[in-house]
Chain A
Amino acid sequence: MKNHYQLLIIGGGPAGLAAATIAAKDGISCAVLDEQPTLGGQIYRAIESIPEQRAKKLGSEYRRGKNIAEAFRLSDAEYYPNTKVWSLNNQREVGILQNDKASILSADQVIVASGAMERPVPFPGWTLPGVMQAGAGQILYKSAGIVPDNGVVLAGSGPLLLLLAWQYLHAGVEVKALLDVTPLSNHIGALPKFPRALLAHHYLTKGIGYQIALKRAGIPMLFGVSDLRADGDGVCQSVGFKHSGKQKTIESELLLTHFGVIPHIWLTQSAGCKHQWDDSQQCWRPEHDEWGNTDISGILVAGDGAGINGARSAEHAGRLAGLEALFALGVINQSERDNRGVKERKWVRGERHIRPFLEKYYQIPKKLLATDIDETIICRCEEIAAGEIRQAVRDGHDNTNQVKFFTRCGMGPCQGRQCSNAVAHLVADESGKSVKEMGHFRGRPPVAPLTLEQLATLKQEVAE
């Protein structure tokens, strides 16, 4: 590994791999860093090592990753798995951790392709063991073939929930119920966006296909569910909710929830890139142009980390960012960049067709984002409940950073990843303002925790 690269790419999912594949030619020094042991990112996790049998069960969209991985392997890019990036600054210095050793690399161009994370939504009981995010369930399945043996309740909103139910169905898992918390009014609200979505009908047919399969298999699918909660004595024992005006309970040791995904903005935030609130996607994302340029020169974003558009779009956006990096490095000129980017730009726009519909259809109701149940834990690291956050706002701490200072929410080891959005929604709700006005927690490095001993190894690096 070198100390300096012309191009560093953070994240080995479809965006990062596509960017590296297009850029790592003609002697460009380029490396892809990823904290996972294998390449493929979240969606194509374990793609190179998975048994064919399991890959089949995961569906054709998953197997698409094979081609991406193969093309990447043929490129000149260096690839560093098990490499945790813990800092990025506006000078394009990248702090990494490998085998418990910390070091700092630099680059002329950095493409942040750090993907998305599941949107954490606090509800009563969400911190009980046995309540997990659906993505975690999916990862266990993809990388280790582990599935729940005592059945599962799936709850939340968004296409991944449907996909996971379908994958579990094929793996022989008992899906006790699928509880969709999106209000029925969303479906009507999404109608005007439907004609544009038809331009991307392959997504719609896929979604409908999953639903039909689930229905045929007799899996109870309840829509318009509200008042979701998990209960139990120290662990999850049952799932409570309201449906058609009635209070219901299902016994289950496992509740997997999913409330859509949001960009992983911690790196761009720590670099000081400008971010904007996206009302439609209900999340913050870095500001960027079509080529992925942020407001900081030499720092680009691609894929879901730039805004949620899915795996295929990430691939195209990755190539665009790769071309832009080559252009910035003076390897290709503007017209070459533009020519090679024509199709990719068209495809990126094409991939957007379905989004307004999906975003409206799966929009998380405000009551879930800003819970009105004061006892609900919001910050699980520091054990701060919703009521304390609302009280801090009533006491005059009227933006998210002041509330953080005062209550300590967001100051634990997860560095606010689990609570920052919920806090922003609560503060906005309590003060009657918009989330946009309330701002986001200021990013504090390190982006991933490292131990005192690991950090101390950096000193030797510098001294040598």
Chain B
Amino acid sequence: MNSDVIIIGGGLMGSSIALQLAMRGCQCIVIDKASPGRHSSGVSAGGLRLLNRDPAEIPLSVEASKMWRDITSLVDSDCDARFPGQIRVAENKADMEKLEQRAALVRSLGYEHEEIIGKQELYQLVPALAPHCIGALINRTDGYARPYHALTAFRRKAESLGVKYYPSTEVYNVEKEAEIWSLKTSQGIFSSPILVNCAGAWANKFATSLGEAVPLEQKALMLMVTERLPHFVDPVMGAASRKLSFKQMQNGSLIIGGALVAKLDFAKEKTDIDWAQLAKSADTVISFFPQLKQVRIVRAWAGIEGFMPDNIPVLGQSQTHQNAYHAFGFSAHGFQLSPVIGKIMSQLILDGQAELPIEPFNINRFN
């Protein structure tokens, strides 16, 4: 199988890059060892969060936020996206100071999207919140979408422009001969002049074969979901100093996360829910929303994601091979970035440079 570009990994990153390349007339193949969206991209919490981004990510995240607002024009589907804002609440003075410092930092970088709000506005926005909170940091444009719907929309649009997906096709190794990449897979050999590594938690395997291994760590992030409830909260909720991440989805169920990890057997791709952690999380939720005590948890799961030590991704050209590129290591917050990743990576591949700053994401940064 030949094409202009081969992308390893049919998650959101691979699909978004393929879509943008195809929009510019490039022939792409996307290879995935499972079904597209089987890992992080299909099972994430769907949070579209610009709030509290690493400064290096802010320019990308701001652009992504704009793209999500108009996502239909890109992928012909609204991905069921909603934008009720996201909040980090302060429970005490120390929390409030932390949030104020953060807001000042963001302003000093020239951005206005993170705002401090006082107690009164907080309780107007979230009347259901327990009465002890004193204020919050807010980004009014944040929200959420449905991950598997988004993945499907990106994939379908890409396919309509000629991108070919090969699911259930595992790449065993990559080799370069006379400037052409040759990929040995479970379904035969694929080759192309350009290679893009979007293999998520598995990406280090390919970085390693390109001679530029990175300290990528695999973790299984847990989420739990409750039964459906009457609508009671709009914004996505977080807290300044406690592990809380919580939203009421379109259908009324709550998704509760908070960067808690399950036990993971990476080789077997088996995850085992750590109930003691989730119990703490349940306790945190109840302390912010005591009225939820009797709400039933119907499901918990864990998704495998790749984390970099500094929690920002690897993005850009390979430092060992000119015609290879990386986009992985999104460290639990890649969903929001996905549209812009396609845009800048396609620019990098086709024009040799991206319109947004990507130096901080250099693959060499840990050498």
Give A residues with C-beta under 8 Å from B: 87, 89-91, 95, 102, 104, 272, 382, 395-397, 399, 402, 405-406, 408, 411-413, 415, 444-446, 449-453, 455-459, 462
Contact = CB atoms under 8 A, between A and B. Distances in A.
B300 interface: yes
A411 B280 contact: no
B279 A444 contact: no
Contacts of B69: none
Contacts of A453: 282, 286, 293-294
A446 B300 contact: yes
A272 B265 CA distance: 13
Contacts of A452: 226, 282, 285-286, 292-295, 297
A87 B299 contact: no
B227 interface: yes
B286 A444 contact: no
B276 A451 contact: no
Nearest to A91: B272
B152 A406 contact: yes
A462 B286 contact: no
Given A444-B300, A451-B294, A453-B286, A408 B251 contact: yes
Contacts of B272: 89-91
A462 B300 contact: no
A462 B298 contact: no
Interface in B245-293: 251, 253, 270, 272-273, 275-276, 278-280, 282-283, 285-286, 292-293
A402 B282 CA distance: 28
B68 interface: no
B286 A450 contact: no
Contact of A455 (B152, B156, B297): B297
Given A406-B148, A456-B282, A412 B227 contact: yes
Contacts of A451: 293-297
B301 interface: yes
Contacts of B270: 90, 272
Given A415-B299, A451-B297, 13 more contacts: A89-B273, A102-B275, A406-B152, A412-B227, A412-B298, A444-B299, A446-B298, A452-B292, A452-B293, A455-B282, A458-B275, A458-B276, A459-B276
A444 B298 CA distance: 9
22 contacts: A89-B272, A90-B272, A104-B275, A402-B35, A405-B37, A406-B149, A408-B251, A413-B227, A446-B298, A449-B297, A449-B298, A450-B296, A451-B296, A452-B292, A452-B293, A453-B294, A456-B282, A456-B283, A458-B276, A459-B280, A462-B276, A462-B279
A456 B279 contact: yes
B102 interface: no
Contact of A382 (B148, B251, B276): B251
Contact of B279 (A89, A272, A402, A459): A459
Contacts of A399: 35
A91 B253 CA distance: 30
Contacts of A405: 37, 42-43, 148
A415 B283 CA distance: 23
Nearest to A462: B276
For A87, A395, A449, the residue with the greatest tally of chain B CB atoms inside 10 Å of its CB is A449
B164 interface: no
Contact of A458 (B149, B279, B292, B296): B279
Interface in B216-246: 225-228
The 7 A-B residue pairs with the shortest CB-CB distance, nearest first, are A458-B279, A459-B279, A405-B148, A449-B296, A453-B293, A456-B283, A455-B282
Contacts of A455: 275, 278-279, 282, 297
Nearest to A404: B148
A411 B254 CA distance: 12
Contacts of B292: 452
Contacts of A397: 152
Contacts of B253: 411
B251 A87 contact: no
A411 B283 contact: no
Nearest to B253: A411
Contacts of B298: 411-413, 415, 446, 449
Nearest to B147: A405
B155 to A, nearest CB: 9
Nearest to B300: A445
Nearest to B226: A452
A76 to B, nearest CB: 30
A396 B10 CA distance: 15
A399 B149 CA distance: 15
B314 to A, nearest CB: 27
B96 to A, nearest CB: 27
Nearest to A270: B273
B295 A457 contact: no
A456 B287 CA distance: 11
A436 B251 CA distance: 31
A450 B297 contact: yes
A393 to B, nearest CB: 13
Contacts of B280: 459
A402 B36 CA distance: 10
A455 B296 CA distance: 9
B273 A445 contact: yes
A294 B156 CA distance: 40
A459 B279 CA distance: 5
Given A272-B270, A399-B35, A406-B148, A87 B296 contact: no
A303 to B, nearest CB: 26
Interface string B318-351: 0000000000000000000000000000000000
A450 B35 CA distance: 31
Nearest to A416: B299
A95 B274 CA distance: 11
B279 A457 contact: yes
A459 B283 contact: yes
A288 B42 CA distance: 32
Interface string B33-66: 0010100001100000000000000000000000
Interface in B134-156: 148-149, 152, 156
Given A406-B152, A455-B275, A411 B282 contact: no
Given A412-B298, A413-B227, A456 B273 contact: no
B156 to A, nearest CB: 8
A452 B251 CA distance: 19
B292 to A, nearest CB: 6
Contacts of A395: 152
Contacts of B156: 396
Contacts of B301: 444
Contacts of B283: 456, 459
Contacts of B299: 411, 415, 444-446
B83 to A, nearest CB: 21
Contacts of A90: 270, 272
